[in-house]
Amino acid sequence: AQSVAQPEDQVKVAEGNPLTVKCTYSVSGNPYLFWYVQYPNRGLQFLLKYITGDNLVKGSYGFEAEFNKSQTSFHLKKPSALVSDSALYFCAVRGALFGTDKLIFGTGTRLQVFP
């Protein structure tokens, strides 16, 4: 069965420090991976995606993610965190063999960046 795991419910980091939000997946075939962010009282907002090609994907607001096939991971990173990055982050996966456009979302990781 296809699944996504976000092992940390919450990540806390000081402003200016690098941040990492972890995501691992399990799918049949090649995965299509996404990161979304949700600010309070808002819908989910697309950050970046990996479909194929370069394992390092760059997205909005200075975020990037690294696809690691051997570790089945797609961790979200940012070199220098901002207080405004504080939000709920979701990893999602769609398998190439799904045959549908359905995304499987993780449970979310709450990022808190403190001044």
Partner 1 sequence: DAGVIQSPRHEVTEMGQEVTLRCKPISGHDYLFWYRQTMMRGLELLIYFNNNVPIDDSGMPEDRFSAKMPNASFSTLKIQPSEPRDSAVYFCASSLSGSSYNEQFFGPGTRLTVL
Residue 44 binds partner 1 (CB under 8 A): yes
Residue 42 binds partner 1 (CB under 8 A): yes
Distance from the Cα of residue 3 to its chain's centroid: 14
CB atoms under 10 Å from CB of 69, counted, come to 10
DSSP lists the bridge partners of residue 94 as 32
Residue 46 binds partner 1 (CB under 8 A): yes
Shortest distance, position 107 Cβ to partner 1, whole Å: 5
Q: Which two tokens stand for residue 69?
A: 């096939």
Shortest distance, position 94 Cβ to partner 1, whole Å: 7
Mask of contacts with partner 1, 90-109, x by CB under 8 A? x---x-----xxxx-x-xx-
Q: What are phi and psi of 27, to 5 degrees?
A: -145, 165
